């Protein structure tokens, strides 16, 4: 372990070159201390901006202090991989018949792919050092304030949409962290370049970014479609449009994204079957078919029930005769959450057959929450 400043700086650059050679597209080093503005997490949690994401409040102190995640932590190697899709990042927005899936979930599952690259990186570092590396790797699976840490390492800055913004890759970076016992000098922090721009705030369809640099999950469509397990609030259902999994509006609106190149990682290219496919083909999947269709996908982690709940809303917002058969099928699902949202979708459909189905179901439906949805749908 080198002790002089020159030796430590030289080693840091050697590690950076190895990481870039292994395919990481941007690499920087952060201090093991609390990242700047870490205390904002306490205020954010105190304002209940995390909604039902109890895991955000759990281990809050560890999130704010990286040293609590690893004994002997000397520095944090922060790595980024560009996942920007080719073409229009949100190809579904202009087609209400299309399935809306966030860009990060249209490709193969990223966590395992990046962890594999990190393990390869660790092996190469061990070869350089001639000894085992004392460290831990993280990819979106531990209580790490990865965006503040990345900003403190100079990979960019946290924009008003709360995403990390990089001057080369915009908001399209998957982040990973390699906690190391090596005492390496940190890189200079990134400078904020949002200025007076508020395009991300204006683009948000539900006002989740009304306060710049702070996301209120309780108003966020990505939060509702991915993280919540209960009913989607009525006031947000129409705003969802055809967004079935996530929302990229505040990302794509950022002008820094116009500089971002298309991803060079084949694993991050969108799966062809998820590039704005028709909504109707997904409603008839059972659990086995769902898990098969979305294997190696972030969508699979959220589960079939949430997906079908969201799909029912998208079909209702589409509102055409073609949406009636899949909505009718979802209205007969065994899970009441799906039936209830399908009732809302049928109520939005102008075809009188939808109202007939709702009226008929009043006589046989036993779940109170579904009956309430039916009553609302018929009233509206």
140 is catalytic: yes
Smallest CA-to-CA distance from 101 within 246, 241, 281, 228 is with 246
Smallest CA-to-CA distance from 280 within 240, 308, 245 is with 308
Cα distance between residue 11 and residue 18, in whole Å? 11
Residues 6+ apart with CB under 8 A from 129: none
Element (H, E) at 174: strand 173-180
Compute φ and ψ for 193, nearest 5 degrees: -130, 25
Smallest CA-to-CA distance from 310 within 369, 376, 229 is with 229
User: SS3 breakdown of the chain: % helix, strand, coil, rounded to 5?
Assistant: 50, 10, 40
**CB of 240 within 8 A of CB of 234?**
no
Residue 287, classed as helix, strand or coil, is: helix
List 140, 183, 198, 367, catalytic entry: 140
DSSP state of 226: I
Query: What are the residue numbers of the active site?
Result: 140
């Amino acid at each position: 372990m080198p002790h002089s400043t020159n030796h430590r700086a030289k080693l840091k650059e050697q590690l950076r070159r190895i990481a870039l050679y292994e395919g990481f597209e941007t690499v920087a080093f952060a201090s093991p201390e609390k990242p700047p503005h870490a205390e904002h997490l306490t205020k954010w949690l105190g304002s209940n901006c995390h909604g039902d994401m109890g895991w955000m409040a759990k281990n809050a102190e560890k999130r704010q202090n990286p040293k609590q995640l690893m004994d002997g932590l000397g520095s944090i190697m922060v790595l980024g991989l560009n996942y920007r899709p080719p073409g229009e990042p949100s190809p579904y927005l202009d087609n209400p018949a299309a399935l809306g899936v966030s860009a990060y979930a249209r490709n193969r599952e990223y966590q395992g792919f990046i962890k594999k690259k990190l393990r390869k990186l660790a092996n190469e570092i061990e070869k350089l050092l001639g000894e085992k590396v004392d460290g831990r790797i993280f990819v979106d699976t531990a209580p790490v304030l990865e965006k503040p840490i990345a900003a403190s390492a100079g990979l960019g800055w946290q924009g008003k949409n709360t995403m990390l913004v990089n001057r080369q890759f915009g908001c399209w970076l998957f982040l990973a962290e390699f906690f190391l016992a090596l005492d390496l000098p940190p890189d200079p922090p990134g400078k904020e370049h949002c200025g007076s721009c508020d395009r991300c705030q204006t683009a948000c369809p539900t006002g989740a970014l009304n306060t710049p640099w702070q996301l209120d999950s309780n108003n966020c469509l990505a939060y509702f479609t991915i993280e919540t397990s209960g009913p989607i609030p009525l006031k947000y259902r129409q705003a969802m449009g055809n967004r079935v999994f996530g929302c990229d509006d505040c990302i794509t609106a950022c002008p820094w994204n116009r500089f971002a190149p298309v991803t060079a990682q084949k694993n991050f290219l969108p799966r062809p079957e998820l590039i704005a496919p028709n909504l109707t083909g997904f409603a008839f999947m059972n659990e086995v078919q769902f898990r098969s269709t979305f294997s190696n996908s972030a969508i699979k982690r959220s589960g079939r029930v949430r997906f079908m709940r969201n799909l029912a809303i998208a079909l209702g917002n589409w509102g055409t005769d073609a949406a009636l058969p899949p909505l009718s099928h979802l209205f007969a699902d065994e899970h009441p959450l799906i039936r209830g949202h399908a009732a809302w979708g049928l109520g939005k459909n102008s075809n009188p057959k939808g109202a007939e189905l709702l009226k008929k179901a009043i006589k046989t439906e036993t779940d109170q929450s579904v009956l309430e949805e039916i009553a609302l749908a018929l009233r509206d």
